[in-house]
Amino acid sequence: MTIETLHELFLAHPTVSTDTRKITKNCLFFALKGDNFDGNEFAEDALGKGASYVIIDNKQYKTSKNCILVDSVLAILQKLASFHRNYCHAKIIGLTGSNGKTTTKELIYAVLSKKYKTVATQGNLNNHIGVPLTLLSIKKDTEIAIIEMGANHQKEIEFLCGIAQPDFGYITNFGKAHLEGFGGVEGVIKGKSELYDFLISNGKSIFLNADDPIQLEKLSTYIKKIGFSTDKLAYYKIEFLGANPFVTCRVEGTTIQSQLIGGYNFTNCAVAILMGKYFNVPIETIKEGIENYTPQNNRSQILRQNGNQIILDAYNANPTSMQAALENFAVMDGEKKIAFLGDMFELGETAAVEHQNIADLISNMKFDDVFLVGKNFYATETTLKKFDTFESLSEYVKKAKLPKGKILIKGSRGMALERLLNIL
């Protein structure tokens, strides 16, 4: 079957599923393989649940004319997504970076969707499977699509750009994330910059934070760039008014107060404002979009529980985001402050040093109590309370009488520190 023929089939059945638990009537089921499963084995089940066709790559499971046999299900899914991207007329905004990708994506969506028919990456579907699925959610009348691209090794962003072929791009920042896969900070910069490389080689436009020296240097000679800055005259000016606790900024005489904590979220708001201006969204509409956006999914959420104000930032963590969260927490108002910090993953051989750096940093901050949890934090040399497992921390907290106040919860996804909410 040619990609053109498969695309015609997709247009007739424009819902794609890769999970038989989420089959909808008349969808296309792509039988992907994983480390611990083979989607081919579920092809017949998918048809039984209402899928019109299943795409498989093992002829053993071709049981009817509704089973389409291909060489590689993953490869055909990616090719179909790229074909569909070119079939539609939506402008594609590619987005990557070490920290803040998802929040930035949602802020941009909150602004642009006020004026345009817009789609954006759902949740964290930002890899070699998620990007194609997002592209296939684009409709004929979609005007703008915001495609988040995640990566933990070299050439991954390059590959995703080949599928999505973005018209615009933005890199949130270059931080200490996925150091193990990228091979250090310089590797992170090189890997994330693959988005720049694609856009430059294809003459596409780039949005940038002109206050970031790395971005500014890399794009110094590139003409097709649109930047924001707090003070550089050559770029669109956005003033940062503070974050105690919520990020507030001013642009064109209009004050915008987000529902996001932490100064580190200013640039996320700023680029959403910048893109809104570029795409001719009125400033009052931009303000409405940003001010109405509320963080979810354990990302910088502010919760009130049992007399405490809890900052739940447990979706992910790396040395850069951990330091930013701690520094923000240190300057927030509040008499009593307690921090719960969980291990940071994917740091490779730098893990011991980076966890020790965070332990040293927080030792110099005047918090009322600090709890470190995880094998890496447990191995640090510190006088702070530390626990090798969540279970041991849990038992301690259940018995302790902690003062009421502000609580920061921060750790990598694998630590699942949101479990603390049931204990505090």
Concatenating the DSSP letter of every residue in 281-334 gives --HHHHHHHHHT----TTSSEEEEETTEEEEEE-S---HHHHHHHHHHHHHS--
Lookup: tokens for 177: 């994330």
Contacts 24+ apart (CB under 8 A), 361-366: 361/323, 361/326, 362/326, 365/326, 365/330, 366/330
- Rounded Cα distance between 265 and 128, Å, is 27
> The pTM is what?
0.85
Query: Would residue 279 be called left, alpha or beta, if left means φ above 0 and alpha means ψ between -120 and 50 degrees?
Result: alpha
Of residues 61 and 151, more confidently modeled: 61
**Predicted confidence (pLDDT) per residue in 93-147, tens digit:** 999 998 888 999 999 999 999 999 999 999 878 999 999 999 999 999 999 999 9
User: What pLDDT does residue 249 have?
Assistant: 97
**Predicted confidence (pLDDT) per residue in 201-246, tens digit:** 999 999 999 999 999 999 999 999 999 999 999 999 999 999 878 8
301-422 maps to CATH 3.90.190.20: yes
- Rounded Cα distance between 249 and 251, Å, is 7
Contact 136, 84 (CB under 8 A): yes
User: What pLDDT does residue 50 have?
Assistant: 95
User: What pLDDT does residue 179 have?
Assistant: 63
User: What pLDDT does residue 335 have?
Assistant: 78
Q: Are strands 53-56 and 67-69 parallel, antiparallel or unpaired?
A: parallel
**Predicted confidence (pLDDT) per residue in 284-310, tens digit:** 999 999 999 998 776 778 888 888 999
> Percentage of the chain with pLDDT > 90?
76
Residues ≥6 apart with Cβ < 8 Å to 47: 29, 54, 64, 66, 67
- Rounded Cα distance between 225 and 285, Å, is 24
Going from the C-alpha of 47 to that of each of 15, 26, 40, 69, 200, the distances in angstroms are 14, 9, 12, 15, 44
- Rounded Cα distance between 362 and 342, Å, is 13
Q: Is residue 1 over pLDDT 90?
A: no
Domain ranges of the chain: 3-72, 88-291, 301-422
Local confidence band at 67 (pLDDT 50, 70, 90 cut-offs): very high
- Rounded Cα distance between 78 and 128, Å, is 8
Residues ≥6 apart with Cβ < 8 Å to 189: 174, 214
Lookup: tokens for 204: 């596409």
- Going by C-alpha positions, the residue among 204, 202, 191, 105 that lies closest to residue 154 is 191
Local confidence band at 346 (pLDDT 50, 70, 90 cut-offs): confident
Local confidence band at 182 (pLDDT 50, 70, 90 cut-offs): low
Span 3-72: which CATH code? 3.40.1390.10
Q: Is residue 176 over pLDDT 80?
A: no
- Rounded Cα distance between 69 and 87, Å, is 24
Rounded to a whole number of angstroms, the CA Rg of the chain reads 23
Quote the mean pLDDT of the chain: 92
Burial of 253 (0-12, 13-18, 19+ CB in 10 A): exposed
Local confidence band at 49 (pLDDT 50, 70, 90 cut-offs): very high
Residues ≥6 apart with Cβ < 8 Å to 402: 338, 369, 424
Which phi and psi angles does 93 have, rounded to 5°? -105, 115
Contact 217, 171 (CB under 8 A): no
Q: Can you tell me the mean pLDDT for 75-84?
A: 97
Residues ≥6 apart with Cβ < 8 Å to 19: none
Look at domain 88-291 and name its CATH class: alpha beta
- Rounded Cα distance between 221 and 103, Å, is 29
Distance of CA 78 to the CA centre of its chain: 20
Q: Is residue 75 over pLDDT 80?
A: yes
**Predicted confidence (pLDDT) per residue in 374-401, tens digit:** 999 999 999 999 999 999 999 999 998 8
Q: b/e map of 3-39 (b: 16 or more CB within 10 Å)? A: eeebbebbeebbbbbbebeebeeebbbbbbeeeeeeb
Q: Can you tell me the mean pLDDT for 182-192?
A: 78
Beta strands in 87-152 (DSSP E): 91-96, 118-120, 144-148
